[in-house]
Structure 1
């Protein structure tokens, strides 16, 4: 039975010790009581089932369970499974495994599914045990404090946002480039917007319709209050108007710079209000005083939130430092390889997407503002020519060499010069760039206009948007394929019955994740027969394919031919993975499946890869064989379609 103090009020954090031997539990209780004195309640449980019952009781009573120490080998439930269930019920509890017979699989399960904090071998050293528990308790207390601080900061930010949104005046914040980063509800209503526009300093006046009062002219950029505050001034002005489609709103604006911790201007805040009524009547001094006070409140609260943000940044830094100390010093070599490949495979399409987005943004900024004016300058017939030429550029796909394009350019230039059209060389160059090589007579009225080059430039930029979206789509498809493969590989099935799975799909998932190592110097040959679904544990078999492919690539030094064959033979599936590496000497072929045996250089392998493969296949009632000679090594995996 687990020990409980019937007369105690459980108001202190609890340490739970779990073992199947009472003498071990007595030793743990005695040693921890001496080390921790009366700061923590120490509870013990004989076996995993009793430990889970004890945990349920303590949680029902509202106790804080700081640390649990669990033996690995117990007759009812193994320690890693106990830790996993405890983690599901009390994830913040720090877990320590105490045993002398833990397997690598058990420790790995405890790390992956229970966030194991430490592993202490038996027999333990009292000093090591006490130090480990004391460090775990310090980390538990630190995480509790960090959680309280984060909750306080979140509540403070929520209150601050509620105050800003409830304010009767518009409040906006601009970054150092002039871009609007925040606007409360009142500000959006005054500006006539629903979402924040991406406008820099030079674009503020036209983007938000800011005019100088009574002039009908846009407010000069350099005189805008927010722009002056970004230069260090605190400004108040009432000669601004906001032009909306159905009304004009005179406003009073107050702006001030906001400094970062280095004293540099990072933001500027603007508070503005509709002063229509004030323009029509005498100033209401009392109302102005109240509004000024509201602005002061907003400024003070902004300073408070900046201070809270700094505290949060410090707390997060401390938390990250603590988390780094908790990470195990070793990680699975396979996962490390996958991360390096995936980073490259995802960064490449992301770079293409980023470049295309920049191109789209640039072309939109440069073209859309000019397009209405440009279009109005065209006659109805010329507008049709303009649109027809634009559609031609979208349909054209260049399949000509550079030499052929130069020939097209010279031919078009000569033809335009024969018609005495100005800038014939530049027009010819632009047409060839856009993929227009012939049938240009219908567009001659456009080319004869004095602003023909300007028209062609606008069409080229608009068609560039289509090219950029095509690049983004292609890059997105590539990144999605890698992410889907990683998601499929990283998914872990909870313990339970086997499921029907497509083995080829699992192999292809692994190959996708290794694409960066494969695509340059490795030829892949796939010989797949049509296979039935197999009853198995798909995630475990994915680990088999990963280890075999990884070993094959290392054996070839990432250069050569990788052949993968799949076929159905007598109610079994046979998967063969062949590499063109140096081969495995005959005298060691019988040893390669033994644990800790490796032929790799120090630091490149643990000697457990093929042992894990063999155990997974045996779990599936399957087997593995090897056939190797210089220049060719084949691993054959046999799996029953319906395991026994």
Structure 2
């Protein structure tokens, strides 16, 4: 997809060149910038860009131009490209012209000449961001409409299949009413149990059967369970009875192939049928889809009667109809789960956007305030020593907030790579005890400065560990950083390492603080923080523990938290990855 285009329109070349240079500095290559010396040239340029399928995001136009006034130009551009936003830059625009542009061209902003760089910058960035967000929403709406059409077409296709099955029975006049009635009753519900019970009940009633039973197969266990039955004679109930399937028997070898059986002697010896007269006629019809046999229907009549061709055809067609309705029922249940999952993902997306917007805006607000204060101090003709110190303090704020913004962006990129499975492993073997002494060295000094105590305990039989040290270091550093941040003055932080069979157990335990049980299940969620524990108000991105969990899982390990009154402990279990080398 090509970059969006921004068009600058003015009849003064020097103004155009100045505006183009300013926009290049603001946008840093994220958009293409074109210029036009007048309204006619601008309309011709837009026509050419549309033919080449470029998207014009923004037009910045002067008001007073010799060929077309700015408000009329913006109106014509809006008529050709409704999604394009417009900004009028002029020192001579009257109220009517601006009003016309607002009414007819969705004027986004009016900027007087000469423009202020900050005003131009904020207006252009807001307009481009608004355009991109609108286009994104349009694309999502288009995808949703397409998905809705596909669902409609799929439902129409399924309904057509049902109608085609029913239409085939048109020539069977004696059974047409029965088939339609049973079929309609099955369609009245999307509940699987109700559908199957309806089939059994209606077949037994309409065909005047002694007994009708429907069994469902579990091919993995090779069992058939009686799920639904209808008895019209003095026979005991057999529901929930389980029959063992013998795939090599004459009976099930044919049923599993999708073939029906019609006989006068019951071919199966089972406690289920000991009360049945051996002289009954039985018809066994499989329930089978395109891939496998789902179950069967057993229908019993007196031995003096047989199932004629029309009855057999109707039963087999109803069995097919039953499978289709079952498929619809299961698709419906699946669609409900998918809708619930989409709703959950939508909620997660909204929470994520809310959190990331806050996290990105907070440092920027501080940076802007510091820049304004620094500008005021530096504009003083004579800067005193105290003012210089103030300026240096504002400069330090800028550095800190820029670092915070960079950390947030890096955490987001790392999280995206880990969630996409695109983060490679660089596996090597390390002396774990020596390695730990190196990565904990900065925290020794930090805890000393904060009047805390850091204790590192390693077992004497600690073996070398084959893993990706970079992932492990970042995870442990984050846990130690959090421990230093939340542990009160005078309290202890313990780092323990020991062997647990063939895996390694690493724990970080700090005293003087606890995590409520209601919070423990959420601390690994993105942007979730327990702010009341941050006594020093040091803040953070809210991605730390979420990244730790992803990094440990990338090392095929696990992490869990335990917290009791007075202490909290994070425990990592990671395997040795020497088999992957």
TM-score range, shorter chain: 0.3 to 0.5
Please, what TM-score do these two structures have when normalized by structure 2? 0.35
- The structure having more radius of gyration, on CA atoms, is 2
Please, what TM-score do these two structures have when normalized by structure 1? 0.32
